[in-house]
């Protein structure tokens, strides 16, 4: 690997997603940040200064740059299809943020465009990239504890009261916790239970008129394998499931137990939606309130709340440190060594595809199936019944 050339990455969109990925993309030696484009010229200039990359004046110019191999599409949800197709048009591979898109037709067009162009498509980061999830999948594949029969996944956060742009509170424009957060949980449980969901029965909740979108959901997923999963998410910022994860927050760092209260306090002090959107933009890369993350790699892995996979002969609990196995011999931790670079699992998959010729785990087909489940959660809640799925994909080969 040391003799191989880093992946020359162009970043399309320098907002919150890129801000959170900076510690990974800037520190992993397998990535070279060579170019960017953002509608905020100040953020583009800051990128050029920080990483030495070219700041382009349009998305088309970035994708046409001959020095760029891959495009990291980190733009708002509703632009994913347009920007993935633009990358493919110029022969560039794409790493696109979740959710893949806002409709199955968009997902299908993204897949078809990349296939016709001969370019690769990886969708993420979702938390199914996390090493403890991949380790749990490896344990399941070994057959050591029999088949997966049931999965419980839940996460209680302050998501809805973090700074938001208006469209992030409008479900029709990709707002709400189903579009923004469910892909994490769905990807995880699909990886653990075999991938192919047969039906979805769900309810969504929206009980704050000032935040007019879904803030919570619960869904029962029936898998073609015979397994079933219960997934619950609540973003209303009261109860917090992170203390159940050893006090480790989603990003792998120790979490202040007063975080949710402080989030609501800041929200209540914001005057209007324009001020709120400005507050979000200001704390992103290139903004006046942006603070570079100068910490090293966390001692724990990132997570998406408590997940327990019940196999025939053991229960597997995902933790920020590895997989806790509960079997007839008692309880023991299948521990993972700490990372040198946080969230490096994302680069692991990119590298395996770009430099080793592997097929992506989080491919267009895989991620389209996850989006079908997310859309079914919304549809089931609206119609009050189960939704039968038609575009599912089995678990692909997991990188080792």
Q: What is the mean pLDDT of the chain?
A: 95
Least confident among 26-35, 119-128, 206-215, 268-277? 268-277
pLDDT tens by residue, 64-100: 999 999 999 999 999 999 999 999 999 999 999 999 9
pTM of the model: 0.95
261 pLDDT tier (thresholds 50, 70, 90): very high
Calculate mean pLDDT across residues 212-231.
98
Calculate mean pLDDT across residues 315-322.
98
What domains, with CATH codes, occur in the chain?
7-127+342-363 (3.40.50.720), 128-340+370-388 (3.30.360.10)
Residue 365 has a CB neighbour count (10 Å cut-off) of 19
H, E, C per residue of the chain:
CCCCCCEEEEEECCCHHHHHHHHHHCCCCCEEEEEEECCCHHHHHHHHHHHCCEECCCHHHHHHCCCCCEEEECCCHHHHHHHHHHHHHCCCEEEECCCCCCCHHHHHHHHHHHHHHCCCEEECCCHHHCHHHHHHHHHHHHCCCCCEEEEEEEEECCHHHCCCCHHHHCHHHCCCHHHHHHHHHHHHHHHHHCCCEEEEEEEEECCCCCCCCCCEEEEEEEECCCCEEEEEEECCCCCCCHHHHCCECCCCCECCCCHHHHHHHHHHHCCCHHHHHHHHHHHCCCCCCCCCCCCCCCCCCCCCCCEEEEECCCEEEEECCEEEEEECCEEEEEECCCCCCCCHHHHHHHHHHHCCCCCCCCCHHHHHHHHHHHHHHHHHHHHCCCEECCCCCCCCCCCC
Residues 351 and 129 sit within 8 Å (Cβ to Cβ): no
pLDDT given at position 270: 87
pLDDT given at position 297: 86
In angstroms, the CA 247 to CA 261 distance is 16
User: In the predicted model, is pLDDT for residue 248 greater than 90?
Assistant: yes
pLDDT tens by residue, 151-198: 999 999 999 999 999 999 999 999 999 999 999 999 999 999 999 999
Calculate mean pLDDT across residues 335-350.
94
């Amino acid at each position: 690997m040391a003799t191989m050339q880093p992946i020359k990455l162009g970043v399309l969109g320098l907002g919150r997603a890129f801000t959170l990925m900076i510690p990974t993309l800037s520190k992993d030696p397998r990535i070279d940040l060579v170019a960017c484009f953002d509608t905020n010229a100040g953020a583009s200039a800051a990128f050029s200064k920080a990483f030495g990359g070219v700041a382009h004046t349009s998305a088309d110019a970035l994708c046409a740059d001959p020095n760029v191999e891959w495009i990291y599409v980190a733009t708002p949800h509703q632009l994913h299809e347009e920007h993935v197709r633009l990358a493919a048009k110029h022969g560039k591979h794409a790493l696109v943020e979740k959710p893949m898109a806002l409709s199955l037709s968009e997902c299908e067009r993204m897949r078809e465009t990349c296939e016709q162009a001969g370019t690769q498509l990886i969708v993420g980061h979702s938390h199914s990239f996390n090493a403890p999830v991949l380790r749990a999948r490896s344990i399941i594949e070994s057959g050591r504890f029999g088949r997966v029969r049931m999965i419980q996944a839940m996460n209680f956060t302050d998501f809805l009261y973090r700074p938001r742009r208006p469209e992030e509170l409008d479900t029709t424009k990709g707002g709400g916790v189903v579009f923004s957060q469910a892909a994490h949980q769905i990807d995880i449980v699909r990886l653990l239970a075999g991938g192919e969901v047969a039906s979805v029965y769900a309810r969504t909740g929206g009980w704050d008129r000032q935040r007019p979108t879904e803030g919570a959901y619960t869904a029962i997923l029936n898998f073609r394998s015979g397994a079933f999963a219960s997934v619950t998410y609540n973003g209303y910022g009261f109860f917090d499931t992170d203390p159940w994860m050893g006090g480790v927050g989603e990003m792998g760092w120790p979490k202040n137990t007063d975080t949710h209260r402080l989030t609501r306090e800041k929200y209540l002090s914001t005057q209007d939606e324009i001020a709120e959107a400005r507050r979000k933009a200001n704390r992103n890369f290139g903004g006046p309130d942006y603070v570079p993350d100068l910490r090293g790699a966390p001692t724990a892995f990132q997570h998406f709340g408590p997940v327990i996979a019940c196999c025939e002969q053991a229960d597997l609990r995902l933790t920020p440190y590895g997989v806790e196995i509960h079997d007839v011999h008692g309880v023991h931790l299948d521990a993972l060594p700490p990372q040198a670079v946080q969230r490096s699992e994302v680069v692991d998959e990119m590298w395996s595809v770009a430099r080793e010729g592997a097929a992506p785990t989080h491919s267009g087909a895989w991620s389209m199936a996850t989006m079908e489940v997310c859309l079914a959660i919304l549809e089931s809640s609206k119609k009050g019944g189960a939704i039968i799925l038609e575009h599912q994909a089995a678990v692909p080969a997991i990188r080792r």
